Structure 1
Amino acid sequence: MKAGSGIPLWVVALLAALCLAVLAWTTFGFVVPFKHETGQAVLDTYFAGYDESAVFHMQKLLDENETATKLLRAMYFGPELIFPALLTALLFLAFLMLGSAPSWFGRSVHPLAAKAVYLLPFVYGIADYGENIASLIAFGNGGSSGLAAALLPWMTRLKFASLAICFILLARLAIIRWLAPREH
């Protein structure tokens, strides 16, 4: 893939603005009120991760607080339906704009491995949607809530790990592109 790939900067800027708007909606419309209502953060925001006991604690908290349960469900059926797709698209377009994968590592990379890097934004998106679905199941009254509770911490870790790797690679690409000699 050629650096830039003909993607207008305004498209990336628009996606970034939409991501920020939906993130603000999530934060100020749901995360902050949830914390105010319960005194505890939404598990989706635990960057360092959490274990199954935190999920069981959240289940107990939600069983006792109907307002918190409604806030959490509204978040998953509102902004969390579109945010992962927006951020996945933004990350993918940023990868496309910043250049070809074989040049990222300063040496020849197998073409299949170079192309696989472009899948990272989709790993993030799938993990984020998986986390949201696992949360709805774990904090619901269904028979699969135990399995979902066990999967939920792993989905959150996968989401943040793939997101971190995307940001690191994008930063590296931006630095390499900035330091590269300009063609006249």
Structure 2
Amino acid sequence: MKAGSGIPVWIVALLAALCLIVLAWTTFGFVVPFKHETGQAVLDTYFAGYDESAVFHMQKLLDENETATKLLRAMYFGPELIFPALLTALLFFVFVALGPVGSWFGRSAHPLVAKAIYLLPFIYGIADYAENISSLIAFGDGASTHLATHLLPWMTRLKFASLAICVIVIARLAIARWLSPRED
């Protein structure tokens, strides 16, 4: 099986390193201090999801704690502006580097399936930005707070579900590539 693109490995490695740096910035610069300040984790880190009652609880917590509100806003206007784009690019480049979709499954795939597979990283990126925007609105004072409160748990679920699907597809493809006979 041949590599799928001319994307150099160093570009993928650089994107992975940048993702780790920004993730560390988010974690140690905002998530940990937020937990220290409030005793509660940022909703963005609830991998299993949460419901509207958690959003209402967070709204109450932020109304009572100005420092936590500033930390959360700084996180969304800092590392959370660039992390989804970096991770989306990394996931997409990994998909491209793994080769054409037909080689992934051992047969030629329908063109729509191929396009859908390549869209998975972008679904993650859009969902992550939508979650961030919903958080800013839900924890603000705007007229759309109620709608954002209802959308926020769904955006988080969509973000983590699409990310999980990307990781599973990448793992499957990497294993298939590793197990396949090498062509010289």
TM range (shorter): over 0.9
Distance across 2 between alignment mates of 1:143 and 1:12: 42
Match of 1:94 in 2: 94
Q: How does 1:117-156 map to 2 (within 5 A)?
A: 117-156=117-156
Match of 1:28 in 2: 28
Match of 1:112 in 2: 112
Distance across 1 between alignment mates of 2:37 and 2:92: 36
Match of 2:66 in 1: 66
Distance across 2 between alignment mates of 1:46 and 1:124: 16
Distance across 2 between alignment mates of 1:106 and 1:172: 12
Structure 1 residue runs of 4+, over 4 Å off? Answer: none
Which residues of structure 1 form unaligned runs of 5+? none
Q: Secondary structure at the match of 2:105?
A: coil
Distance across 1 between alignment mates of 2:58 and 2:107: 47
Q: Secondary structure at the match of 2:86?
A: helix
Match of 2:81 in 1: 81
What is the CA distance between 1:115 and its match in structure 2? 2.0
Q: CA RMSD in A?
A: 1.0
Give the TM-score taking structure 1 as reference length.
0.97
Q: Is the 8 A contact 1:102 1:111 kept in 2?
A: no
Query: Does residue 19 of structure 1 match 2:19?
Result: yes
Distance across 2 between alignment mates of 1:162 and 1:3: 24
Query: May I ask how many residue pairs the two structures share in their alignment?
Result: 183
AA aligned opposite 1:170: I
Distance across 2 between alignment mates of 1:92 and 1:116: 12
Query: Does residue 173 of structure 1 match 2:176?
Result: no
Give the TM-score taking structure 2 as reference length.
0.97
Q: Secondary structure at the match of 2:182?
A: coil
Q: Is the 8 A contact 1:76 1:132 kept in 2?
A: yes
What is the CA distance between 1:106 and its match in structure 2? 3.6
What is the CA distance between 1:107 and its match in structure 2? 4.0
What is the CA distance between 1:99 and its match in structure 2? 1.5
What is the CA distance between 1:180 and its match in structure 2? 1.0
Q: Secondary structure at the match of 1:104?
A: helix
Match of 1:49 in 2: 49
What is the CA distance between 1:3 and its match in structure 2? 3.3
Distance across 2 between alignment mates of 1:89 and 1:23: 15
What is the CA distance between 1:164 and its match in structure 2? 0.2
Which residues of structure 2 form unaligned runs of 5+? none
AA aligned opposite 2:177: R
What is the CA distance between 1:4 and its match in structure 2? 3.1
User: Which segment is superposed worse, 4-13 or 95-104?
Assistant: 95-104
User: Which segment is superposed worse, 16-25 or 98-107?
Assistant: 98-107
AA aligned opposite 1:127: A
